[in-house]
Chain A
Amino acid sequence: AQTVTQSQPEMSVQEAETVTLSCTYDTSESDYYLFWYKQPPSRQMILVIRQEAYKQQNATENRFSVNFQKAAKSFSLKISDSQLGDAAMYFCAYEEGGADGLTFGKGTHLIIQP
């Protein structure tokens, strides 16, 4: 079974600074997708970024970027110029290619200090 590990239960960063959230995963599959989802206090999960495993290029969405290390099975999220609205739980997730159904990590609670 696939597993996703987020080793940082909580992270704190000053507004406008950069923070990196860690994620590792374990799978024997070669076709898979990785995601970062954000869950603010409203509880509504929102997609932050998506990465196809077959793509070597790291995905980027505005201030959000990933460092995808396939051999190391690592998928970290970098948030640049942190804003107060970035405060939330961040979940790393894995999905096997050809099948809908996300496996989530336990999450990292991100605190933004003003």
Chain B
Amino acid sequence: KAGVTQTPRYLIKTRGQQVTLSCSPISGHRSVSWYQQTPGQGLQFLFEYFSETQRNKGNFPGRFSGRQFSNSRSEMNVSTLELGDSALYLCASSGGTVNTEAFFGQGTRLTVV
């Protein structure tokens, strides 16, 4: 069974640009969550999608958005990039029942210059 796949693995963008990151969950998983990991703030929850609906949301500005497709694949978008958005973005998928184990991808390393 394939794990959670995140693409691309590495990305360099310029301030003011926008970026889209992709996450393919484990087959059969319908919940996808996104996290931002930085040295200063640590791991922070961005949002969670289930069956194409945002079910839970963290405390991030509106520049951060996401969506989920009917095949459970998810994308997150960051608009008007700032230097502080440089981070490792992790995606996690889990089965339909809440509070079960989250399986993480290897992340997308975003660098904003």
Contacts and interface: CB of A to CB of B under 8 A. Distances in A.
Interface of A: 33, 37, 42-47, 50, 52, 91, 95, 97-107
B105 interface: yes
Contacts of A42: 106
A99 B98 contact: yes
Given A43-B106, A43-B107, A44-B106, A101 B99 contact: no
Contacts of B28: none
Which range contains the number of B residues in contact with the other chain? 20 to 34
B12 interface: no
A106 B102 CA distance: 18
A37 to B, nearest CB: 8
Interface of B: 31, 33, 35, 42-45, 47-48, 50, 55-56, 58, 88, 90, 92, 94, 98-99, 101-107
B56 A99 contact: yes
A8 to B, nearest CB: 14
B37 to A, nearest CB: 8
Interface centre among A47, A50, A101, A107, by most chain B C-beta atoms within 10 angstroms, is A101
23 contacts: A33-B99, A37-B104, A42-B106, A44-B105, A45-B90, A45-B102, A46-B104, A47-B102, A91-B43, A95-B99, A97-B99, A98-B98, A99-B56, A99-B98, A99-B99, A100-B50, A100-B94, A101-B48, A101-B56, A101-B58, A102-B43, A102-B102, A104-B43
Given A33-B99, A43-B106, A44-B106, A102 B56 contact: no
B72 to A, nearest CB: 14
Contacts of B92: 45
A106 B43 CA distance: 7
